[in-house]
Amino acid sequence: MAESHSPSGRVTFGDADARADQMDQAIDQWLSELVDAVDEARASEQFQRWLDVQSRFHDYSHRNTLLITLQCPEATKVAGYRTWQDEFDRQVQDGESAIWIWAPLISPQCPDCGNSPSYHDDSDCAYDETPPDEWREGVVGFKPVPVFDISQTEGEPLPELETDATGEADELLAGLLAAADELGVTVDVVRTNAWSHGDADGVCRHVDDTPHIQVQEADPAAVAGTLLHEYAHALLHDPADTADREARELEAEAVAYVVGHHFGVEMDGSALYLAAWSEDDADRLLRRCERIRTTSTTLIDGIAAQRDPIDHE
């Protein structure tokens, strides 16, 4: 058994000695179940639940947001036990179960094999040009660490951040338009009477290797949603690749959903039907999750930099 389930049906990792293996196995099981049920509505609901978590934790890896989804899908802000105490003057309540995620192990790395000094000594790597105390530090592995959601704590309220989501579509649209140069695209919002692309709300073409996006004029929420979708195409997809169109549309829609939700703008999840990925195995599905996370993070950071340029210089 990869993990145990609490009375609420959520995954828990209680065995300290086997926890790392259980965490990996839980992700594998989630992917396997998604692949098996990809043509069913419950798979799309399960996937959308992860997208909701990813929208709140955009700077976390896709593996960590999957783990949070499996353990505490309603989580909004997580931190370690001492961090809640020391930095936020809050206390984890008695009886709360930790949420387990992966944290990087930082160590000097062998420039050749990439191992830490202890693993390097036990490996077949013959690198000896510089001593370990001159090696640069890097990520040499990951370890399970416990965190807790704010809902599991009590104490002082958190300070409100100016960059928190406002839920205003016109602000999101302004940030999207301002971020175009940084994201390497050009954008035109075209009046309805001049629109020449039929029923499409937006298109992404490449002109001299630069993505050029056109969207049809509409209310701010609709234009913002279309722009997010087309930005995702521009960042994710090779214009020469015309295969798997439905699969690529679903990736773009997932990115738009994550970014919109991150900024508090309600996005329609009706297009997140996973049948377009019915040919995927678990490994390919995991790669799609990583692509969605990476692209969403790029867009979120680009928009946030325009909305609050001082904090992002």
The per-residue pLDDT for 239 is 77
Per-block mean pLDDT, blocks of 10 residues, the chain (313 long)? 53 87 95 94 94 96 97 96 96 96 91 86 87 87 94 90 62 94 94 94 89 95 94 89 85 95 86 91 96 96 77 44
What is the DSSP pairing of strand 210-216 with strand 186-190? parallel
The per-residue pLDDT for 266 is 84
The per-residue pLDDT for 159 is 80
Residue by residue, DSSP assigns the chain as ---EE-TTS-EE---TTTHHHHHHHHHHHHHHHHHHTTTSHHHHHHHHHHHHHHHH-TTS-HHHHHHHHHH-TT---EE-HHHHHHHH-EEEPTTPPPEEEEEEEEEE--TTT---HHHHHTSS----SS-GGGSPEEEEEEEEEEEEEGGGEEESPPPPPTTS----HHHHHHHHHHTHHHHT-EEEEE-GGG--STT-SEEEEEETTEEEEEEE---HHHHHHHHHHHHHHHHH--TT--S-HHHHHHHHHHHHHHHHHHTT-----TT--GGGGTT--HHHHHHHHHHHHHHHHHHHHHHHHHHSGGGG-
Q: What pTM did the predictor assign? A: 0.86
The per-residue pLDDT for 175 is 93
